[in-house]
Amino acid sequence: MNGAQLIVKAAVASGIEYCFANPGTTEIPLVAAMASAPALKPVLSLFEGVCTGAADGYGRIAGRPAMTLTHLGPGFANGIANLHNARRANTPIVNVIGDHASWHVNYDPPLASDIQALAGSVSGWVRTSRTASGIGEDLQEAVRSAWQAKGQIASLILPMDLQANEVARETAFTTLHAPVRRFAGDRIEAVAQALRNGQRLVFIVGDQGLSVAGLEAAGRLAQLPGVQLFAETFPRLSYRGGGLPDLDRLPYFPEVAIGVLDQYDAVVCAGIPEPISYFGYEGIPSRLAERDRLLYLADVGDDVAGALTALADALEAPAFVPTPMGVELPPANAELTPQSIGQVLAASLPDDCIVSVEGGTCGYPFFTASARAARHRVLTNTGGAIGQGIPVGFGAALAERGNRVFCLQSDGSAQYTIQTLWSIAREQLPVVILIAANHRYAILQNELRRFGMTELGPEALSLTVLDRPRIDWKALAKGYGLAASTVHTNAELQRALANAAADGGPCLIEMAL
């Protein structure tokens, strides 16, 4: 048995199912080892950002880490943007990064670079293995480190010689178990006391507070006087629909969010860090609420649902009453708008499906339209590095093979990891990719207007408009082996979604805006 085979054995023993890989020469022993160990399934992608985004989507849905395998510093660097998002989502991920042989790297060959610095920028744990016989334990330590209640990214750098070297002894590995979430009773009591004292409280619920149990408790709390609840703006995983209460999202622009939160005596953080503006705008505070107005019910990684339930119990809140269901449909023959897309998609969602949402154009309209849809889970872009939606949907589809996944995606951000189309076609997963094609970076045009450019001349447009040439989405999808169609009206979108459901395979739908 060589070091690479030991790594594979350790990964399987640690409960790792998938290895999202884009290997090179320094990972050859691992490629060979995976070829003979079917329990760790290698999933090849054409670009590393697909691997890391898929690991994020997998981790959020499966609740346990996947492995990524990338090639030295530059290969890993291609995966950093989506690891940044995964870090903000607290998704457990184990990166294995092949490196030059330990006796070779110090000669500064062409592919040498500072892998530690790159890995450190997104990881909570980084280690370079030093002995072949120890790399199995190194891998298991990486899994243990990643797979915590508040998940994190662990990166293990594996010199090629240690992968190839024979190991003297067989290592026995511990079976690892899902981490346990807890909450602090004294925090429950402090929030309950504030309400009993007549304070008006606004809750911002995040993390596992947006599970079914957490949302049902939120629905109970919402019935108490003086209580208002919001969901965090970009949740890692949020259950929605199927009778769950419709928690609005905290508004994105800081002046709006501050205006909302200011109406209450205190802001209760339930599974979120301190609420901060996404970007800093001149004259608007970074903090959405002053620190002395914050109460912490539960931290990220806590049993947020348990905390909310305990609070509802302590306050003797009424039982949860499911909200009525039913999505209003837009006029069938009208042209698509972001609002009508949200409505048509919401009405088409099958029970327990997964929706990965990325992009400013359709994100919030879908959110408002889907509150009364069938029960579904929403994955959003937690860290703002774009190119996340489709890889995350891909990983989610592997975490629940056979379950249906929808990627509601802006055209601009889809391009950063467009190679995911090939991976979805290769694995023949039931993923429907919905491209909102407005052929521009609409968010940048908004920001230019906020900055004071009332008229966007040709030069400003040249950096924000994507229609010279227009991307032909049907052709791109065909290029990667995916069936595709273009729709213009609500009825056409509805029909395309029905066809996709009947077909059961992957497809791309370009929604002309």
| Number of neighbouring beta carbons within 10 Å of residue 171 | 16
Q: Between 186 and 282, name the residue whose CB sits nearer to its own copies.
A: 282
- Give the one residue of 476, 496, 500, 507 binding its own copies; rule: CB under 8 A: 476
Query: Looking only at residues 176 through 215 of this chain, which bind its own copies when binding is defined by CB under 8 A?
Result: none
By CB under 8 A, tell whether 464 contacts its own copies: yes
Task: Report, in Å, the least distance between residue 276 CB and its own copies.
Answer: 4
- The stretch among 21-29, 141-149, 259-267, 319-327 that binds its own copies (CB under 8 A) is 21-29
Q: For every residue of 108-142, which 3-state class applies, written as one string?
A: CCCCCCCHHHHHHCCCCEEEECCCCCCHHHHHHHH
Tell me: does residue 483 bind its own copies (CB under 8 A): no
Measuring CA to CA, how many Å separate 409 from each of 59, 150, 236, 338, 511? 20, 27, 16, 11, 10
Smallest CA-to-CA distance from 405 within 331, 444, 354, 464 is with 354
The runs of H, that is alpha helices, within 121-279 are 135-146, 160-164, 185-196, 212-221, 254-261
Binding status of residue 286 toward its own copies by CB under 8 A: yes
Indicate the residue among 182 and 450 with the shorter CB distance to its own copies: 450
Kindly tell me which residue out of 113, 148, 199, 403 binds its own copies, with binding defined by CB under 8 A.
113
Sheet holding 153-159, edge to edge: 41-44, 18-22, 66-71, 93-99, 153-159, 125-128
Binder to its own copies among 11, 300, 418, 436 (CB under 8 A)? 418
Q: Which is nearer to its own copies, 100 or 220 (CB)?
A: 100
1 lies in the binding site for its own copies (CB under 8 A): no
- Which of 425, 431, 433, 511 binds its own copies (CB under 8 A)? It is 425
- Smallest separation (angstroms) from its own copies to the CB of 373: 27
Residue 191 CB partners (closer than 8 Å, separation 6+):
201, 268, 295, 297, 311
Q: Give the sign of the dihedral formed by CA 371, CA 56, CA 153, CA 94.
A: positive
- What does the alpha-carbon distance between residue 451 and residue 343 come to, in Å, rounded to a whole number? 32
If one asks whether residue 479 binds its own copies (CB under 8 A), the answer comes out as yes
Element at 497 (helix H, strand E):
helix 490-503
| Least distance in angstroms from the C-beta of 382 to its own copies | 7
Regarding 462 and contact with its own copies (CB under 8 A), the answer is yes
Please state the φ and ψ torsions of residue 367, each to the nearest 5 degrees: -60, -45
Pick out residues in 291-350 that bind its own copies (CB under 8 A): none
Residues 220-239 that bind its own copies (CB under 8 A): 234
Token pair belonging to 79:
């995966």
Q: What is the DSSP string of 160-176?
A: HHHHHSBPSSPPP-PPP
Residues 432-451, interacting with its own copies (CB under 8 A): 443-444, 447-448, 450-451
d(CA 216, CA 211): 8
* Smallest separation (angstroms) from its own copies to the CB of 77: 4
- Least separation in angstroms between residue 53's CB and its own copies is 12
Chain positions 89 to 108 lying near its own copies, rule: CB under 8 A, are: 100-101, 103-105, 107-108
**396 near its own copies (CB under 8 A):** no
Residue of 271, 359, 383, 393 that binds its own copies (CB under 8 A): 383
